[in-house]
Every structure is written in structure tokens, then in C-alpha cells.
Amino acid sequence: MVDRSSPPTGPGRPPLSAASLTLRLTGIAVVVAALAGAFAYVNGTLDPQRLTPKDLVNVLEKNNGVHPGFRRNHAKGVCVIGHFESSSQAREYSSAQVFSEARTPVVGRFALPAGNPYAPDNSVPIRSLALRFTQANGQQWRTGMNSMPVFPVGTPEAFYQLQQAQSPDPATGKPNPAAVPAFFGSHPEAAPFLAWIKTAKPSASYATETYNSVNAFYLVNAAGQRQAVRWSMTPVAQDAAGATAPEGGDFLEKDLVQRLSAGPLRWQLNITLANPGDPVNDASKAWPDGRKVLNAGTLVLESTQPQLNGECRDINYDPLVLPSGIEGSDDPLLAARSAGYARSYLRRTSEVKQLPNAKQESQQ
């Protein structure tokens, strides 16, 4: 799908104008309409009692505060510009042009998975990477990946309940310390995530993380054959063993800029093929080792831009914006992410972005 919501590019763009906002909102409405069936599960059109995108975004705002003009999750980040160099290994599995063309331009965004744009970089052990591949035929592939190997839970309802468990109690202004343990005690599917998080530490660099799709998708070839997959971006650069995040709140963007000043950074796109019987609708379940892995090509990142006025600012990294040759699975979290991202996009682009103050300038 062509992103008709993105304004002219360039780091010197002014804040959102009424005209450009209207154009972008019209563009996102087209995307929402095209994915209406996927959204039906979470937007309440089939059952008024079901969870809605508004519910999801509201609980994120309750937990993180409202920061006008910023994303409701992954609020603190930095834009990156580069391209993707394809290999031959994915071509027999997918007709997507990104796997057949030698080079495809990419606009991406590194971020922290939190809703506070001023959160310290060492406050969470997870990093995220979102990418938009724009094919020569105008179709796009957008993907949002995280450094965790699995999602804590497998359904939107459980994710919403987890957010509620972390919400501040009106009587104290703080979360109930017993709520999160009680939640996980009643959700045994979270065991793989909890086992990982116990040893996870904040990394010192975006450049040395592996980023995982977590959700499953399908590659579809020219003959219509479908193969369930998950993918990951595996870094070529590696820090010395034991490297840990430094003290201070804003080291990740500085580190990224410094590394890129010495040359491009690269990740290998590894696509894991599911075996029959592997779960494709539950992101809380890992696939066993030993699955076939394709080296689909190399992501090359060349420069950064501030998120306040960079090319990534107005991109909704909806994971269900996919080109021909890639399809979403029936994982309910995919539909929930898509609908929640659309709701967040509409809110932040309708807000009047204030001029950055000193704190914003220092943290963006």
C-alpha cells in the first residue's frame, strides 16, 4: 500500500499544518478501511462488549501520562535512513518485490517500548526497531520488531489486563504492588517471557540488538503457496561480552550517531520457516530450535534524523501494511496492534505539537 499520509520528506519540515493533517488523516482512513475486517475483532463492531482500540490507548495514557504529539507507546526514539539489499534465498517463498530487487529504500525508527518520551534509556531492557520498506512498485512493507523473543501474553484482552495491573491506584497514585504478580500467576503462558526478562539487561547500543517480529506472518509465492514465518534482524556489529548500559538517561541516540559517523550499520534479515504444527496465532509461544532459516538479505542503515522532524515522524508502522507476497497470520495481537496504532496515530497527529523546550531538545 502506498503511504499517502506521509508529507514531503526532510529534516527541516515544520510542525503539522491543518492541510497536511487533513491529508494524512485521509490517508490513514484508507488504510483503516482496507483492514476493516482485521480490525473488527478489537474495534467493537462485532460485539460492543469487546475490547476497543480506544480502551488500549486510554490505558497506555493512564499509565504513562499524555505527551501531546508523541506516540502512545514507543514514544522515545530516533529516525534512521537506509536501504535493504536482498539475497536470493526468499524469492521462491515470496513474490514481494523487496526480495527480488537489489535495493529497496528504508525509513526506520529505533525506540524504547514505553509511553514516556523522557524515560531514561536504562529504564527498560527492551529495544525496538520499526521499518518501512518502499518497493519500486509503490507497495510498502511495514514492520515493528522488539528485542524480546516472545510476547508476554497471546491475546489483546490479556495484554489489556496486564496494563490495568500496572495502572496507578486512584487512592495512592501508585500501582498496587500485588497486582502484577497476581496477573502473571493467573497467566502461565507468560512463563517463557518471564524466564527471559529475569536475565535481560538494558543494552548499551541499538546497534548490537537482535530485533524479532514475535508475531507470525505468511510468505506467499507466485503460485499462491503460503509458508508461515517469523523474522528477525540480527546485527553484524557485536560489542565485547559483558557490555552494559552506561549510567544516564540518553546514551542510545548518541551512541547510534557516533557509530554511524564511522560508517553504515548492518543487520541480516533472518526468516524462520515454521514446521507443520508450530503455533502461528500465539506470540507468547516460541518455535522450537532447528527450524529452517533463510538469509533474506541485509539491512543497511546510513544516517539518523531527530524524531521530532525526521522522516519517521509521520509514519504509522502498522504491521498489517504489507505488500503482495506477505500476509498477516490470524494472530489476534496483530489486529490489535494495527487498530491501536491507528488510534494512537489519529490522536497524536490531531494534537498541536508545542515547540520543543530545552528538555525536549536534550532528550530527542
Active site members? 74
**Of 350, 349, 364, 363, residue with least CA distance to 308:** 364
Grid cell 517500548 is found at 113
**Chain-centre distance of CA 100, in angstroms?**
24
**Of 90, 130, 83, 91, residue with least CA distance to 109:** 130
Residue 321 in contact with residue 142, Cβ under 8 Å?
yes
**Residues in contact with 151: Cβ distance below 8 Å, sequence separation at least 6, in sequence order:** 159, 193, 214, 215, 283, 284, 333
3-state secondary structure of 310: coil
Residue 342 in contact with residue 318, Cβ under 8 Å?
yes
Q: How many CB atoms lie within 10 A of CB 50?
A: 15
| DSSP structure string for 170-233 | TTTSSB-TTHHHHHHHT-GGGHHHHHHHTT----S-GGG--EE--S-EEEE-TT--EEEEEEEE
Residue 80 in contact with residue 110, Cβ under 8 Å?
yes
3-state secondary structure of 7: coil
| DSSP structure string for 224-254 | --EEEEEEEEEES--PPTT--PPSSS--HHH
Residue 46 in contact with residue 40, Cβ under 8 Å?
yes
> Phi first, then psi: what are they for 219, rounded to 5°?
-90, 140
Q: What is the rounded end-to-end Cα distance, in angstroms, of the chain?
A: 30
Q: How many CB atoms lie within 10 A of CB 247?
A: 8
**Of 133, 142, 147, residue with least CA distance to 101:** 133
